[in-house]
Structure 1
């Protein structure tokens, strides 16, 4: 890739998360980095570049459209890495994956859509491996904290010779908002399942993104639904925990990493994610409401997505694409993920992954930006194909995020 015109192209720079990522890259990219902004409208790209200030004044602009395969092929051929925020990926993302797989171009996205990743694997996994393209999905709050936390727990257990991982649980605490793009991604998956109910199995099966289901550990049923006392996870915790809305996606990514790395986490590796509901007197009711509310919302969305009038109802209720939390709300956000791990020797560890800023937007821009920079400038494992953050960038990305003021710390529990 040494003779390519750009080091990194940000596709979708005019969108909500795209602008945040562009702003982050201004300060995070090394001197001399060849960065370009890409999107459908050159006029809108010019406006975004002007807003970014003098440091981005010379960034080239590239016109490309997710509905125009030729424009995406040309884009991928010009750069080492494409970072894309154009979603829902299930609707708009596949042509860019194809372009990167064919051109041996590295790629990072923000998808929280298992259906999209499964299709990427099935359609372009072999081709990407042949051309050397690292197609790395879920490089934001979904699913970097989950993926790197378990990866670092595994590395610590190896360093301490304390055996394989067994039961591992991530507990999430966070303050953040939701954008129209996030909601639209959920809608895209509901509509896809409504059109083809067989795809529902991809959403529900814990190993649906596995590189080889036959190699996965046989540890019985693993459910992403939760409602229990936090002390059941670790005695240091109080209050209650409930279903974490992104757990169903993140857990699949973590299990895929285990497979891509050769299943080193352990033959009895079990993984789940939950969200804290607090420790007040009403915490059990809050937890029950969170758990039941997620199930009810998904069920209602799936039913409404089946008919045109239902889709119109959803349009009126949810945030519009391109919208998101205010700047003040993004600054006031935060997240702490603590992952508790047991090992076959009886040793226990906890990995803390924490940062400031709205997790889904401000912190995600950091994670996505650093993922793109790692793919463009760092020496990474030789593995190629449809990858995960841990399998593609493991220790390198961990180091980058630590330097970007994100806490990633493993300690005995």
Structure 2
């Protein structure tokens, strides 16, 4: 790629999450050539001043409803970081502009129906033009996608073979899901009412790995007691999108985890009556449906900074030995940590991953960024990847 004016552009910088991304770049990566983009130059300037970014931080006016403005923005930068969702409403024109310009792209998408469309409509063109389109670069699905990748890399190194059955289990979490997540779910359900085939895509764990049909997968839809973990487990709200991304990663990695790979995600609640009660409470929680957060709103700075999460990935090797890894993160998952993860994913594309290693195409994070992003997340973003046994 010829030298571009910017390393990264933050599109949607006046929104709640976009502002956090811009603030993080201004505080942490002062040597990066970056710009803020959005619909209003006046609002961009206001946010720039509020977050304490340098007064000469470039501002780019671009709008999802104006393809020419997106084309112009994409042509000026190596990578675009977009927080403008729901992506099924506003995302495709920017993907098209980035593919056309051969520009790298990262988003926070957790909308499998839209992702299914983007893979089908843009993967071939992205491969031809060299654009790396990397989906789901926030809490869904970086800790989970890279957590499985990290465990499997360790298992292959130790035993020469992957773990064919991996359990992803959230052990601790404090924080809120974003208003964008709730809005995306609502839009997906609206679309499903018009396109019944979307329900099948949502049910199919391999719907983002076209052409592959793997083994039956656990549903994770009911509370269960897991003897091997000595704990009750409850359904985990992000599992539907995370599992699809992880199966796509496996396919893009040449089925490094095996064509018989089985994976599920649940929330670990502990043993005994207390654990069972906690699992039932989680399973019965309807706050996302009945009182969802609104897009553009989010937790306070104190709530973001005191949040955290801890996710375990565990399974048996072919020799019957249990291996366990974990991914933990500082700050609340939906905003504080997510804004850092997507920023580092964009920078990873711009600086760390050569195109002969990761050529153009529509990706998930593990096959696109892998170890390079794990290193960045641990160095800058407050994530920790560990082997526990």
TM tier relative to shorter chain? over 0.9
Distance 1:201 1:241 in 2: 25
TM-aligned CA distance change 1:357 to 1:402, over 3 Å: same
SS of the equivalent of 1:81 reads strand
Which residue pairs with 1:332 in the alignment?
A: 306
* 1:2 has 2:14 as partner: no
Q: Report the equivalent of 1:265.
A: 257
Kindly indicate whether the alpha-carbon contact (under 8 Å) linking 2:217 and 2:262 is maintained by their aligned counterparts in 1.
no
| 1:351 and 2:325 are equivalent in the alignment | yes
Quick check: 1:240–1:277 contact (8 Å CA) kept in 2?
yes
Aligned to 1:25: 25
SS at match of 1:240: strand
Question: Which digits, 9 at most, give the CA deviation of each residue in 1:190-219, with x for residues without a partner?
Answer: 111112121111111010000431xx43x3
- Cα distance in 2 for partners of 1:212, 1:193 equals 22
Q: What does the per-residue CA deviation read over 1:154-196, in whole Å, with 9 as the maximum and x for residues that have no partner?
A: 1111211342221101111201013322211111111111121
- Matched residues in 1 for 2:160 and 2:174: separation? 35
Shift of 1:281: 3.0
Q: CA deviation at 1:293?
A: 4.4
Residues 191 and 248 of structure 1, relative CA distance in 2, 3 Å threshold: same
Secondary structure, counterpart of 2:47 in structure 1:
helix
Measured after TM superposition, the shift of residue 278 of structure 1 is: 4.2
Q: Superposition pairs for residues 187-226 of structure 1, below 5 Å? A: 187-213=186-212, 216-217=213-214, 219-226=215-222
TM-score normalised by L of structure 1: 0.89
Secondary structure of 2:22's aligned partner: helix
Distance, in Å, in 2 between the alignment partners of 1:247 and 1:179 is: 16
Q: How far apart, CA to CA, are the structure 2 residues paired with 1:165 and 1:178?
A: 30
The one of 234, 238, 248 aligned to 1:256: 248
2:84 is matched with: 86
Distance 2:292 2:257 in 1: 39
C-alpha displacement of 1:365:
1.1
Residue 392 in structure 1 maps to residue 368 in structure 2? yes
Classify 1:360/1:197 alpha carbon distance in 2 versus 1 (closer, same or farther; 3 Å).
same
Q: Specify every segment of 5 or more residues in structure 2 that has no aligned partner in the other structure, as ranges.
A: none
Distance in 2, Cα, partners of 1:161 & 1:283: 34
Q: Please, which runs of 5 or more residues in structure 1 have no aligned partner?
A: 302-313
CA distance in 1, matches of 2:293, 2:210: 35
Partner of 1:306: none
1:268: how far off?
2.2
Secondary structure of the equivalent of 1:165? coil
Please name the residue that 1:177 is paired with. 176
Q: 2:97 aligns with which of 89, 99, 111?
A: 99
Q: Aligned partners of 2:300 and 2:198: how far apart in 1?
A: 35
Return closer, same or farther for 1:349/1:198 CA change in 2, 3 Å cut-off: same
Contact 1:206–1:222 at 8 Å: present in 2 too?
no
Report the equivalent of 1:374.
348
CA distance in 2, matches of 1:406, 1:321: 25
CA distances 1:323-375 after superposition (whole Å, capped 9, x unpaired): 01111111111100011122223232111100111011101111111101101
Aligned counterpart for 2:233 among listed residues 211, 236, 241: 241
Residue 221 of structure 1: how far off its partner (Å): 4.1
CA contact (8 A) 1:153 1:341 kept: no
Partner in structure 2 of residue 285 of structure 1: 277
- How many pairs are equivalent? 385
How well do the aligned residues superpose, as a CA RMSD in angstroms?
1.8
Query: Shift of the alpha carbon at 1:90?
Result: 1.0
